[in-house]
Amino acid sequence: MRLGTVASRFPLLAALALVLGGALPARAQQPAGPIVIAIYAPNAPFEGADARYSYVQRLAAHIGSVAGVPTKGQAFARAGDFEGAVKKGTVDFAIVDSVYLAARTFKVIATGTTGGSTAKHWALFVGAGIPNFTALQGKRLAYASSGPRDLAFIEHAMLDSEINVGKFFGAKQGTPDVASAVAAVALGKADCVVAPVDRGKGLRKIFDAGSVPNPGFVQVKTGLPEALVASVSKAVLGFGAGGALDGWRGGGGDAFRGLAGRMGARTRKAAMSEPDVLRLESQDVLLLGKIDAALPPLQHYFWTP
């Protein structure tokens, strides 16, 4: 029986087939399993691993509720584990550390906010017995281990290329996160740490290091349906659970690229200035005029007994 005959005799059946046929490609574009929302942010201002895991679970649940898709939160403590999951294609979106993100090309959807700001001011803190910056030579530096650019971040972006971190400090101690790095100094296991200013309680600040962007929410997996990305983005921007990150603001890619630029070595050169030319006429030099050799009155400088 020809298609035209079927359509004429069974119009409802033909319409249903057309609807189902048009729906199949759209379904094929959806991920097979739940959307995975990951977090890898050692430098983010969380209290520890449990706080990061709790946050990503709440965010994933919120995204699932708003976007109407099944979601799953996942936390990573090491760069290698996170990168392995990305290569396997098991991560769709992620909250990523600013230092780590500065060296990557993920699409930034939003930047976390703290107190309404998308960046935090950082500083160099020291423990007891360190009087000044010079006294840190040969001492122990603690830092959050996020990736291969950590020391470049400290040397150039934080310390303005004033020292060679590898040679200046006696030991470089990587820790799971910034909270652990600060704790290492507070406990006397390290001598200094670069951290957000509000994390250095109990330590002494000796150097203002500038601002650093908060973590970014990024699209990790490419080729996701635009409608899905839009729904997830809308959900993230509407999430304000308080705590370490009290909200999200759209965009922020320029801030992370700016941080990447600050992580490069800086060279300083003396500023060259050209003095103004003073022109002298020949007569001004040769005609000195009359010279008066008389002494000026000096009597008021003396006292007669």
Backbone angles phi, psi at 19, to 5 degrees: -65, -50
Give pLDDT, residue 201. Answer: 86
Residues of the chain with pLDDT under 50: 1-29
What the block records as the tokens of 292 is: 């008066």
Separation between Cα atoms, residue 287 and residue 14, nearest integer Å: 114
Q: Are 176 and 77 in contact (CB under 8 A)?
A: yes
- Give the CA-trace dihedral at 151, 157, 161, 162, to 10 degrees: -100
Give pLDDT, residue 281. Answer: 64
Give pLDDT, residue 290. Answer: 67
Give pLDDT, residue 1. Answer: 44
Give pLDDT, residue 223. Answer: 93
Strands 35-40 and 93-96: parallel
Structural domains of the chain in order of their starting residue, each with its CATH number: 1-30 (no CATH), 33-118+215-252 (3.40.190.10), 119-213 (3.40.190.10)
Give pLDDT, residue 45. Answer: 87
What the block records as the tokens of 130 is: 């360190």
Give pLDDT, residue 269. Answer: 62
Give pLDDT, residue 285. Answer: 56
Give pLDDT, residue 286. Answer: 59
Q: What is the pLDDT of residues 261-278, one digit of tens each?
A: 999 887 766 566 677 776
CA angle (195, 200, 201) in 5-degree steps: 165
Count the Cβ atoms, other than its own, within 10 Å of residue 22.
9
Give pLDDT, residue 266. Answer: 75
Which one-letter amino acid corresponds to residue 122?
A: W
Separation between Cα atoms, residue 79 and residue 121, nearest integer Å: 24
Give pLDDT, residue 283. Answer: 60
Backbone angles phi, psi at 121, to 5 degrees: -85, 135
Which one-letter amino acid corresponds to residue 187?
A: L
Q: What is the pLDDT of residues 192-201, one digit of tens each?
A: 999 999 988 8
Q: Are 93 and 37 in contact (CB under 8 A)?
A: yes
Q: Are 52 and 60 in contact (CB under 8 A)?
A: no
Would the pTM count as exceeding 0.95? no
> How far are the Cα atoms of 7, 43, 123, 144, 304 from residue 137, in angstroms, in the given order?
86, 24, 18, 20, 63
Helix pair angle (226-237, 49-67), 10° resolution? 120
Count the Cβ atoms, other than its own, within 10 Å of residue 226.
8
On the 0-12 / 13-18 / 19+ scale of CB atoms within 10 A, 136 is buried
